[in-house]
Structure 1
């Protein structure tokens, strides 16, 4: 039945269907053990159709990362949508970033990219650009606009804030020192994150700039 469902899709719909199936296969088995046969079976489509869209496992993996990026950025958004007050906006934005990166499927994806980094350095860079570089840019642009800061200073401040408010918990989750978030993040609320410690750091860093 899955094969019938997959074969009924065409063009962009089939491509996205394959990518979602491939994402699950990569997460379940790891990059090295994942096979195009397994992806085709999971997607309910033929290997011929799979190779018509993706000529190799490497390119399929990179396309999966593009899909993850699209889904992730749609949930992250930009600081200005979270609150009118800059301190609260940055607090919630950093909280959202932490929430997304410590969500179990995202933590698994990060571990997967780390494990594949030597074989596919481009995939590791693509993941970093999607998950971190875009976040730093959005935060830095917001800080520069709100506080009329030089872009380089805003970028340095953004990295400092994320380093103190987000990354410690992310590393603990990646190393399984702390449990990951099981619930799928909603479209707006920042949940399963301790916001008060983040707020204290952000207030101390930005309060003097008011």
Structure 2
């Protein structure tokens, strides 16, 4: 049965995501994208009026998929320090996954020409993770909003360096198999993250406020 409507749109987006990563934005023509999606160029343009619009929609799809897998710190356990540690570990684990890292490089490469796409990618991957962590720190550690945001930024910064930077510049080999949440402790060295959590957060967290 031929795909139609929302199903076809989702199929085009998933296909375009793979094509953009494989070929880069410039080489991925609408002809190629239509052929790979097994649809006509006319149908492709009916859903996305330009390649730029299609690329922006792919960024939004990546956001949706990424945040669904990242979840919130509360998902990672009842002990606040352990929850923060595993959330940060999952954040790094997903960022150094091959397709995710290549998407980040693609966003950087197109930042001058498509600043909106680069901005959306940054907001989805980095800013939203920081916001989720800051909310948790405010709830569980009683930190005022500005302090919670600053501490979340510091924790994620310490989490990212140096492994994410090494991966971004191709120093470390990338893995393309999907990193399962259960493998965080084996994929990521959590010791530096635990040290950062111990250093930056109060020893006795506040009682939950009821927010998630």
| Match 2:191 to one of 148, 172, 196 | 196
| Match 1:140 to one of 134, 142, 148 | 134
Whether the 8 Å CA contact 1:100–1:185 is kept in 2: the answer is yes
Partner of residue 178, structure 1 = 172
Mean Cα deviation higher: 79-88 or 178-187: 178-187
Tell me, yes or no, if structure 1 residue 61 matches structure 2 residue 60.
no
Runs of 4+ in 1 over 6 A off after TM superposition: none
TM score, norm. by length of structure 1: 0.93
| Match 1:100 to one of 78, 89, 94 | 94
CA gap of 1:170–1:192, structure 2 versus 1, over 3 A, is same
Secondary structure of 1:183's partner?
coil
CA gap of 1:25–1:74, structure 2 versus 1, over 3 A, is same
Question: Which structure 2 segments of 5+ residues have no match?
Answer: 206-212
Secondary structure of 1:31's partner?
coil
Partner of residue 112, structure 1 = 106
Secondary structure of 1:181's partner?
coil
C-alpha distance in 1 between matches for 2:70 and 2:182: 9
| Match 1:205 to one of 187, 200, 204 | 200
Secondary structure of 1:177's partner?
coil
Number of residues of Structure 1 aligned to a counterpart in Structure 2? 204
C-alpha distance in 2 between matches for 1:189 and 1:82: 13
Secondary structure of 1:163's partner?
helix
Structure 1 position 183, deviation (Å) = 2.1
Whether the 8 Å CA contact 1:99–1:181 is kept in 2: the answer is no
C-alpha distance in 2 between matches for 1:187 and 1:71: 14
TM score, norm. by length of structure 2: 0.92
Q: How does 1:1-210 map to 2 (within 5 A)?
A: 8-186=2-180, 188-190=182-184, 191-210=186-205
Structure 1 position 19, deviation (Å) = 0.5
Whether the 8 Å CA contact 2:155–2:197 is kept in 1: the answer is yes
Q: Provide, for residues 78-132 of structure 1, a one-character-per-residue CA deviation record: whole Å limited to 9, x for no partner.
A: 0011011111000000000000100000000000010011100001100001101
Q: Provide, for residues 125-170 of structure 1, a one-character-per-residue CA deviation record: whole Å limited to 9, x for no partner.
A: 0000110111000000000111111101100000001111124211
Cα RMSD, aligned residues only: 1.4
C-alpha distance in 2 between matches for 1:183 and 1:33: 25
Structure 1 position 205, deviation (Å) = 1.7
Structure 1 position 189, deviation (Å) = 4.4
